[in-house]
Amino acid sequence: MGAQAAGPLVVGVDSSTQSTKALGVDAETGAVIARGQAPHPVSGGEAKETDPRQWWRALGEALARCGDAVRQVSAVSVAGQQHGLVVLDTAGTPVRPAMLWNDVRPAPQSERLIAELGGPQAWAERIGSVPRPAFTVAKWAWLRANEPAAADATAAVRLPHDYLTERLTGEAVTDRGDASGTGWWASATESYDTEVLAHVGLGPAALPPVARPGEAAGTVHADELPLPKGALVAAGTGDNMAAALGLGLRPGQPVLSLGTSGTVYAVSTLRPADPTGTVAGFADARGDWLPLACTLNCTLAVDRVAALLGRDREAVEAGGAVVMLPFLDGERTPNLPRASGLVHGLRHDTTAGQVLQAAYDGAVFALLEALERVLDEGAPADAPLLLIGGGARGTAWRETVRRLSGRPVVVPGAQELVALGAAAQAAGLLLGEDPAAVARRWGTARGEEYEPVERDGAAWERLAATLTDGAALLRR
């Protein structure tokens, strides 16, 4: 528990891959009054799945751990992991576990969808993104091909945050930010694409209406949560869109997030359409755009390499010429869903610490290589890079980003930015304000500032050459 609220209290929820966090926040000051967290399981192996009812259970536990403060909240918003496929029957019960964003089994369906509907350029122009295996449309195509009985039993398709919002309010609704990661919401028209839906055998009636920015999803009606009946519920959004709100981002501010996945993104006033598929042309939660590149292998991959080497994650050593591409779970950026890790340049004098540093370099390289595609043309090359996520607290991560980017780095003091962004969305709805402006008033982006260092061009060139030369091996 924190201090007493000076203004009305709002709750922001972050339903992520492995846990649910809830923050009770003073809508006026941004002070965190209460917080709670609860885990939920993810299946192992190739399938990455969770029963959506576990998210609901975890939401209840996280709210309960916030204490009595949440019984006084005026507005709530739920942010959730993007791309997940939640399939419900006519009673609203999950037909099967939800397929999560990092489930890459739909790689063949992704390739077929791209080819069958005009190729990458056509997808980018209409949808705003080329549908990689993570996208919901590829997961639905996989389900129809591999579990037709489950597809036939499906009456409603939801994203993770949609599922929780609907259980809170009793109303089906999504938002433009999270909908833009499905592959069936067209950024060109800001509506569901009926041709894509017909091609994958999904009726528009199975999908929730898309709320406009600033529009409420409804009010709390669920009995089993410690929230007051009638509290406003915002439309919610995807986790990356919520983090952008939580930082109060203005167009052109680059962000690098180091979590289970790694992402780079920036708010833009221009609708993105990258035919290479490197950049996903997402909408943000406000009415602008959020071009974003995402890697599957980030902190978990580097931690696994550290464990294999028997070293602490911070026990890196400079020097040597070893290169590692730590694509332990396949990769999304670059698009190598079947890849495994690759190590090149080992010598007798290579140390374990140098190998660990190479793992950091490989993970950061994949993100920074995509950064220039994310930023609008003419964006300043020396703009500070906002470094967020769990990895941002690690010295080795921060110094690797500084060395390979050559940019100044700011590590915001605010943590749990996805939940804070959801809280800002709830506060914006309650107060009738722009949620990003609310977050800026809260000062969430302020933090430790680190001056730029000279960019390590030699390491960058080694990584680029290894990726090019090893491309055939990585595609196996």
Nearest CA to 390 out of 14, 11, 12 is that of 14
Cα 170–Cα 172–Cα 174 angle in degrees, nearest 5: 130
Mean pLDDT for 79-97 is 97
pLDDT in tens, 206-216: 999 999 999 99
CA 12 to chain centre: 16
Helix, strand, coil: what percent of the chain each, to 5? 35, 20, 45
Q: Compute the distance between CA of residue 143 and CA of residue 145 in angstroms, rounded to an integer.
A: 5
Rounded to the nearest integer, the mean pLDDT of the chain is 95
Q: Compute the distance between CA of residue 428 and CA of residue 235 in angstroms, rounded to an integer.
A: 12
Q: Compute the distance between CA of residue 337 and CA of residue 476 in angstroms, rounded to an integer.
A: 9
Query: Residue 332: its pLDDT value, please?
Result: 81
Residue 335 has pLDDT above 90, yes or no: no
Q: Under the phi-then-psi rule, with left for phi > 0, alpha for psi from -120 to 50, and beta for the rest, what region is 6?
A: alpha
| Integer Rg of the chain from CA | 21
What is the signed CA dihedral for 201, 202, 203, 205, rounded to 10 degrees?
A: 170
Q: Kindly report the number of other CB atoms within 10 A of residue 31's CB atom.
A: 17
Q: Compute the distance between CA of residue 38 and CA of residue 60 in angstroms, rounded to an integer.
A: 9
Residues 161 and 79 sit within 8 Å (Cβ to Cβ): yes
Query: Residue 470: its pLDDT value, please?
Result: 86
Nearest CA to 82 out of 308, 263, 246 is that of 263
DSSP 67: G
Helices 435-442 and 417-431 meet at what angle, rounded to 10? 120
pLDDT in tens, 31-44: 999 999 999 999 97
Query: Residue 261: its pLDDT value, please?
Result: 85
Query: Residue 6: its pLDDT value, please?
Result: 73
Tokens (6 digits) for 354: 């140098």
**CA count, 13 A, side-chain hemisphere, 26:** 15
Q: Which of 122-136, 239-253, 266-280, 372-386 has the lowest mean pLDDT?
A: 372-386
Q: How confident is the model at residue 1 (pLDDT cuts 50, 70, 90)?
A: very low
Partners of 39 in the beta sheet?
19
Nearest CA to 388 out of 242, 257, 244, 264 is that of 257
C-alpha pair distances (Å), 157 with each of 14, 86, 103, 240, 299? 20, 6, 17, 21, 31
Cα 242–Cα 439–Cα 441 angle in degrees, nearest 5: 175
Q: Compute the distance between CA of residue 70 and CA of residue 90 in angstroms, rounded to an integer.
A: 32
Active site residue 239: yes
Tokens (6 digits) for 56: 């609901």
pTM, full prediction: 0.90
Nearest CA to 30 out of 416, 443, 447 is that of 443
Residue 70 has pLDDT above 50, yes or no: yes
Query: Residue 4: its pLDDT value, please?
Result: 67
Catalytic residue from among 175, 178, 239, 329? 239
Residues 96 and 144 sit within 8 Å (Cβ to Cβ): no
CA 120 to chain centre: 22
**φ, ψ for residue 317, nearest 5 deg:** -135, 140
Q: Compute the distance between CA of residue 114 and CA of residue 458 in angstroms, rounded to an integer.
A: 36
Residue at 109: amino acid letter: Q
Tokens (6 digits) for 297: 């292998």
